[in-house]
């Protein structure tokens, strides 16, 4: 491949689980990819190590003191990476014309503005940060269309569906003969626990996912099924689907990553080992295919594939997410914000596991959905929902005491 064809990549959230997997795939193909920028929140030592290995032109940390530390360490190591700090620098690097591809892998609403900046700048956007799309769906998809950006889903389920749909699938699923999207869910580590046992699970148990190794927030979301709820919303925006066209299927082996069902009875599935490097490599190389470092699926070892319906009585977050999507406007942003606050509190042992859904439901009930066509309205709804969630935390903390 000629030098001119080398893709210049910015990895937002480089030190996280998705970020590390992205750099792993990139490092396998130095003739195809070079790293333009790497960003992290506070993990300065991890970012320093990544800068030494990948030699980006730019690195971004949140705090000025951390950035100053990184600048000194890089200078001492003789590395010319420019270091910037803060949320505005994050957006600058996401829209920087020196990169053509942006991996959006920050966790939570903190990733919204930089992901949107990349979308508005017409990048190839590899979207792992599902919360950004959940919060701003219409706005985000409009930005992609207006700028001519290419949006490729990295979430394994959506990446699977993308692979199962016809190349041109815009404008409503039914126009392309697709009757339903089948979104698979592992069911999380607590699939078999009853309601009483769910009250007592710990952050350590929640973060020990049976099939995937992921960041702490998404691990808790997988355990409550909020992750599947966020993914349902994500699928509606990405594939122009109505919530009724997305069926969640619990599939404990996590081998079928999702499916598309067609009018003629065909169901097309994408399968593989549960390893995020597969969807990441797909997004990086699309429409080509490259080695991701993932072994071919051994079906004899898998032996069997099980499927069952989700239990929304024990895991109400899935229902709450569907209802928020049906309510529309800022309701998904409110759902997401309340969930982020509740998950944080659970990880800090300030809230019980089963109360995560209670906080989200209370906050949704208290915040009527407004219009979500303007970014300011979304940010405002997000802020109000966080405040309301903090107030509900106090209520449930009292109940536990």
Give 19 or 329: the residue with its C-beta nearer to ligand NAD: 19
d(CA 360, CA 353): 12
Q: Which of residues 345-374 bind ligand NAD (CB under 6 A)?
A: none
Q: Which of 57, 201, 276, 364 binds ligand NAD (CB under 6 A)?
A: 276
Stretch that binds Mg ion, among 153-161, 177-185, 201-209, 362-370 (CB under 5 A): 153-161
Q: Which one of 25, 51, 62, 329 is in contact with ligand NAD (CB under 6 A)?
A: 62
Compute, in degrees rounded to 10, the torsion defined by CA atoms 259, 340, 202, 352: -120
Residue 18 in marked binding region: yes
Written as six digits, the tokens of 248 are 């969640």
Residue 234, interface with ligand NAD (CB under 6 A)? no
Does 234 engage in binding with Mg ion (CB under 5 A)?
A: no
Question: What phi and psi values does residue 212 have, to the nearest 5 degrees?
Answer: -120, 145
Q: Among 7, 41, 54, 169, indicate the residue that binds ligand NAD (CB under 6 A).
A: 41
Stretch that binds ligand NAD, among 123-131, 178-186, 195-203, 359-367 (CB under 6 A): 123-131
- Judged by CB under 6 A, the residue of 34, 43, 273, 355 near ligand NAD is 43
Site for ligand NAD in 154-173 (CB under 6 A): 155
Token pair, residue 38, equals 């790497």
d(C-alpha 322, C-alpha 312), whole Å? 11
**Strand 267-271, strand 256-262: pairing:** antiparallel
For residue 9, give the nearest of 104, 79, 91 by alpha carbon: 104
Q: Does 155 bind Mg ion (CB under 5 A)?
A: yes
Q: H/E element holding 166?
A: none
Cα–Cα distance, 277 to 18 (Å, whole number): 8
**Comparison of 69 and 212: residue with beta carbon closer to ligand NAD:** 212
Q: Is 355 annotated as a binding residue?
A: no
Counting contacts by CB under 6 A, is residue 218 touching ligand NAD?
yes
- Alpha carbon separation from 362 to 70, 148, 321, 391, 394 (Å, rounded): 42, 39, 13, 10, 13
The answer to whether 172 is annotated as binding is: no
User: Smallest gap, in angstroms, from Cβ of residue 280 to ligand NAD?
Assistant: 10
How many residues in total does the chain contain? Answer: 401
Cα-based distances in Å from 371 to 135, 220, 229, 327? 12, 29, 21, 11
Rule CB under 6 A: is residue 336 a binding residue for ligand NAD?
A: no
Q: Which stretch binds ligand NAD (CB under 6 A): 24-32, 183-191, 207-215, 334-342?
A: 207-215
Q: How far is the CB of 205 from ligand NAD (least distance, A)?
A: 18
Please give the Cα distance from 284 to 271 (Å, whole number): 19
Asked if 128 touches ligand NAD (CB under 6 A), the answer is yes
Query: CB of 78: closest distance to Mg ion in angstroms?
Result: 40
DSSP-derived 3-state class of residue 299: helix
What gap in Å lies between CA 341 and CA 182, rounded to an integer? 29
The answer to whether 157 is a known ligand-binding residue is yes
Query: Is residue 149 a contact residue for ligand NAD (CB under 6 A)?
Result: no
Q: Answer whether 81's CB lies under 8 Å from 56's CB.
A: yes
Q: Give a three-class secondary structure readout of 230-249.
A: HHHHHHHHHHCCCHHHEEEE
State the helix-helix crossing angle for 355-366 and 226-239, rounded to 10 degrees: 50
By C-beta, is 25 or 362 nearer to ligand NAD? 25
Size of the residue set binding ligand NAD (CB under 6 A): 26
User: C-beta of 398: minimal distance to Mg ion in Å?
Assistant: 35
Q: What is the SS3 assignment for 91?
A: helix
Q: Where do contacts with Mg ion occur on this chain (CB under 5 A)?
A: 155-157
Annotated binding site for NADPH: 15-18, 129, 131, 215
Annotated binding site: 15-18, 129-131, 155-157, 186, 209, 215, 222, 227-228, 231
Annotated binding site for Mn(2+): 155, 157, 231
Q: Where do contacts with ligand NAD occur on this chain (CB under 6 A)?
A: 13-19, 40-41, 43, 62, 105-107, 110, 128-131, 155, 212, 214-215, 217-218, 276
């Amino acid at each position: 491949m000629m030098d001119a064809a080398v893709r210049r990549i910015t990895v937002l959230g480089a030190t996280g689980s998705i970020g590390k997997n992205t750099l792993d795939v990139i490092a396998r193909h130095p003739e195809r990819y070079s790293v333009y920028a790497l960003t992290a929140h506070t993990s300065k030592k991890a970012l320093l190590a990544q800068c030494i290995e990948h030699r980006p032109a730019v690195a971004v940390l949140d705090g000025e003191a951390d950035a100053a530390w990184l600048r000194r360490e890089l200078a001492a190591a003789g590395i010319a990476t420019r270091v910037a700090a803060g949320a505005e620098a994050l957006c600058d690097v996401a829209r920087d014309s020196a990169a053509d591809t942006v991996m959006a892998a920050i966790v939570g609403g903190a990733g919204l503005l930089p992901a949107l900046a990349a979308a508005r700048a017409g990048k190839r956007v590899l979207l792992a940060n599902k919360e950004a799309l959940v919060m701003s769906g219409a706005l985000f998809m409009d930005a992609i269309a207006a700028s001519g950006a290419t949006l490729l889903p990295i979430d394994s389920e959506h990446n699977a569906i993308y692979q199962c749909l016809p190349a041109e699938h815009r404008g409503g699923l039914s126009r392309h003969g697709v009757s339903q999207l089948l979104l698979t869910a592992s069911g999380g580590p607590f699939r078999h626990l009853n309601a009483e046992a769910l009250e007592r699970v710990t952050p350590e148990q929640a973060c020990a996912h049976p099939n995937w190794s992921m960041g702490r927030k998404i691990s808790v979301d997988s355990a409550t099924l909020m992750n599947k709820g966020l993914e349902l919303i994500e699928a509606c925006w990405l594939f122009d689907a109505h919530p009724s066209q997305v069926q969640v299927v619990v599939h404990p082996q996590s081998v079928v990553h999702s499916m598309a069902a067609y009018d003629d009875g065909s169901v097309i599935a994408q399968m593989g080992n549960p390893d995020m490097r597969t969807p990441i490599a797909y997004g990086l190389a699309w429409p080509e295919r490259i080695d991701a470092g993932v072994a071919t699926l051994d079906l004899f070892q898998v032996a069997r594939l099980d499927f069952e319906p989700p239990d929304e009585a024990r895991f109400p977050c899935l229902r709450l997410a569907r209802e928020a999507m049906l309510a529309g406007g800022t309701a998904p942003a409110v759902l997401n914000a309340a969930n982020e606050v509740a998950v944080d509190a659970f990880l800090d042992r300030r809230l019980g596991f089963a109360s995560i859904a209670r906080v989200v439901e209370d906050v949704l009930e208290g915040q009527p959905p407004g219009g979500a066509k303007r970014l300011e309205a979304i940010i405002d709804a997000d802020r109000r929902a966080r405040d309301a969630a903090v107030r509900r935390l106090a209520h449930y903390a009292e109940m536990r005491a």
